[in-house]
Structure 1
Amino acid sequence: MSQLETDIKNLIIEALGLEDMGPDDIDSEQPLFGDGLGLDSVDALELGLAIQKRFGIKIDAEAKDTRTHFANVARLAAYVSASKAA
């Protein structure tokens, strides 16, 4: 697990108030929504805002591939890494 993935897992826990979880409880390939971690649309908004603030990137909520980027921690880490490099 990369440091960025760990940072994102910690951010998910902090931003969404999942105090009973630790980074090791979230699999990087586990879906964040639905049957995976169980996040909903409100969680997505809160997480998106937290990601933008923490990593200084812009997330276009209307972009068609935004859902793909938020599919799991691994994809979100790749998106953050690519956005910071751009």
Structure 2
Amino acid sequence: MNPLHDEIKQLIIQSLNLEDIAPSDIDTDAALFGDGLGLDSIDALELGVALQKRYGLTLSAESEETRKHFASVRALADFVEANRTK
């Protein structure tokens, strides 16, 4: 298991107040939006802010590239790994 994947799952749960979900309930490769975890655009903003605070990332809400990074926990972890400043 990748510790960063677990860390991001915890961050998703905490920043979005998903009380009934455990990190093990979130599939690393499942979509975070739509049919996967079912997050919406407000969740994306909150998660983006949490990622910026936690890892010192710079995200652009309008960027198509940013949407790709939010596709799954694995995609987010890859982005964090490549761009973190904290």
Alignment TM class, shorter chain as reference: over 0.9
Superposition pairs of residues 1-86 of structure 1, within 5 angstroms: 1-84=1-84
Unaligned segments of structure 1, at least 5 residues: none
Aligned residues: 85
Q: What CA distance in whole angstroms lies between the structure 2 residues aligned with 1:49 and 1:31?
A: 19
Q: What CA distance in whole angstroms lies between the structure 2 residues aligned with 1:23 and 1:9?
A: 5
Q: Percent identity?
A: 56
Please tell me the root mean square deviation across aligned C-alpha atoms, in Å.
Answer: 1.0
Q: TM-score, normalised by structure 2?
A: 0.94
Q: What CA distance in whole angstroms lies between the structure 2 residues aligned with 1:25 and 1:55?
A: 23
1:62 CA displacement: 2.1
Unaligned segments of structure 2, at least 5 residues: none
Q: What CA distance in whole angstroms lies between the structure 1 residues aligned with 2:62 and 2:11?
A: 22
The 3-state SS of whatever aligns with 1:65 is helix
Q: What CA distance in whole angstroms lies between the structure 1 residues aligned with 2:64 and 2:35?
A: 22
Q: TM-score, normalised by structure 1?
A: 0.94
